[in-house]
A and B are shown apart, each in its own frame.
Chain A
């Protein structure tokens, strides 16, 4: 056992490759299969790293992942590690932490974290609608817990996060103008990127003219519905130096959450102190401690943006501003690229580039730290990536060059 930080995985692994398919509007990736998209992303990540796909020997997944056995069979990959974080999109960034844990523990050498998504027939927006109804093909079966939520008509995540946003406005004076600033600044980043699905600027008038979906959220507070896949390959820090790209080191990763965050939006019983939060406060503390940094050390933040108010709450929970000040923090221009003190979602995020359940955020962090991002943050050395505010586990990832 090493001394000092030997008990953590800090800096002992690095991301060596990232790859993605094109991003498609919902359903437009058909007739490709979802796992075919995953394989294409993995092959692209291997090419990026200068690896053969048969060098991959592990999978670290999240959000129900995919059938590792069939995937391995397709590509002839000998598997030494197949792990997954429980829960949903909360595990996005943390899946890379799981990969790092597998490597540091000696279970695998070259671990892929992958998300693939095809919303042709299945729309996450109706995740909690009664199964079997038109439009509810993806949805969850009835449950004892859901019986306390779903009869009110709450059938989609956005409607549920709207309840948190409303409480945040009530408690802290956050306004729709603040949500708009998240949507608009993210769009401004997207339109400079050819990969982004949204290519037109968004004005404040357009934001306020948009139809309300679930008060206080309007159309532009919601992320996109799309198809595509993203893969990220992690290896030991030593072996990373032999790859084609400069290593991007994993300084820290944490997943979990406070017990009374629990199921969060399918419960609504969280303590008042952090009801209107992202649920990330405990994992933020864990990650900062492992990385031995604080919020002031973060140069660029890739914050899971399924709904714009949740970016504001993460800015608070990660200590970029005091609790309750997130709205005013964004209104002051702090998250804008390139002028803000903390550029956020420089790739256009889930809101305006593509929603691949958070893995585009990891890819962007890697590009920022390689210095190859389209919207490059000058001199970026440390990036924070987060998984979705969601039920436990939520997760994060601190990377540095």
Chain B
């Protein structure tokens, strides 16, 4: 895939709370945890609801459509391994219907000059290695 860092530099480290999210991405599905006590969504998944401190949650499927909340274009390689992948567009994407939850991912398939805040995007999947997939986004 173009527009993403090489797989070699991506290290996922799930814990018991985030593992369902990564299990879903490996199946090319997006899920967002929602507090079953008060309905508040949260990302990344954490042990407690930030609104009511409940630990009970359910995993809600999301269609992966979102809007670019902000972004940067990475043009300098802070480590040599990413040099050949530059420029990288790293965006914060807000997911409608989740009370403002955001995900961070590359915007791929577009020139950096064409990216703007508020553009609509849809999720795509970067299969990093067997069993590990991270979300990326394409302009809708």
| B70, A166: Cβ atoms closer than 8 Å | yes
Given A149-B104, A150-B11: A159 touches B79 (CB 8 Å cut-off): no
| B13, A142: Cβ atoms closer than 8 Å | yes
| B76, A268: Cβ atoms closer than 8 Å | no
B139 in the interface (beta carbon within 8 A): no
Q: Which residues of A contact B13 (CB under 8 A)?
A: 142-144, 146-147
Complex: A401 Cα to B71 Cα, angstroms? 43
Given A147-B13, A151-B12, A153-B88: A211 touches B104 (CB 8 Å cut-off): no
| A153, B73: Cβ atoms closer than 8 Å | no
| A164, B85: Cβ atoms closer than 8 Å | no
Taking the closest CB of chain B, its distance from the CB of A200, in whole angstroms, is 22
| A167, B128: Cβ atoms closer than 8 Å | no
A54 in the interface (beta carbon within 8 A): no
Complex: A214 Cα to B91 Cα, angstroms? 12
| B78, A125: Cβ atoms closer than 8 Å | yes
Given A142-B11, A148-B44, A152-B90: A163 touches B71 (CB 8 Å cut-off): yes
Given A133-B9, A147-B14: A154 touches B79 (CB 8 Å cut-off): no
| A163, B72: Cβ atoms closer than 8 Å | yes
The stretch among B30-38, B56-64, B95-103 that forms the contact with chain A is B95-103
Q: For residue B44, which residue of chain A has the nearest CB?
A: A148
Given A153-B106, A156-B78: A164 touches B70 (CB 8 Å cut-off): yes
Complex: A276 Cα to B69 Cα, angstroms? 11
Q: Which residues of A contact B72 (CB under 8 A)?
A: 154, 159-160, 162-163, 166, 214-217
Given A146-B13, A215-B72: A268 touches B92 (CB 8 Å cut-off): yes
Per-position 1/0 for B1-38, Cβ under 8 A of A: 00011000111111101100010000000000000000
| A167, B75: Cβ atoms closer than 8 Å | no
A163: contacting residue among B50, B81, B92, B103, CB under 8 A:
B92
Complex: A201 Cα to B91 Cα, angstroms? 34
Per-position 1/0 for A122-163, Cβ under 8 A of B: 010110011001111000001111111111111110011011
Taking the closest CB of chain B, its distance from the CB of A12, in whole angstroms, is 37
A289 in the interface (beta carbon within 8 A): no
Q: For residue B82, which residue of chain A has the nearest CB?
A: A153
Q: In which size bucket is the chain B interface?
A: 35 or more
Taking the closest CB of chain B, its distance from the CB of A372, in whole angstroms, is 39
| A153, B14: Cβ atoms closer than 8 Å | no
| B88, A259: Cβ atoms closer than 8 Å | no
B134 in the interface (beta carbon within 8 A): yes
Given A151-B128, A153-B88, A272-B100: A135 touches B112 (CB 8 Å cut-off): no
Per-position 1/0 for A203-232, Cβ under 8 A of B: 000000001111111000000000000000
Complex: A147 Cα to B101 Cα, angstroms? 16
B5: contacting residue among A142, A144, A153, CB under 8 A:
A153
Q: For residue B11, which residue of chain A has the nearest CB?
A: A142
* A residues 208-267 in Cβ contact with B at 8 Å: 211-217, 259-260, 267
Q: Which A residues form the contact surface with B (CB < 8 A)?
A: 123, 125-126, 129-130, 133-136, 142-156, 159-160, 162-164, 166-167, 170, 211-217, 259-260, 267-269, 271-272, 275-276
Q: Which B residues form the contact surface with A (CB < 8 A)?
A: 4-5, 9-15, 17-18, 22, 43-44, 50, 69-76, 78-82, 85, 88, 90-92, 100-106, 112, 117-118, 126, 128, 134
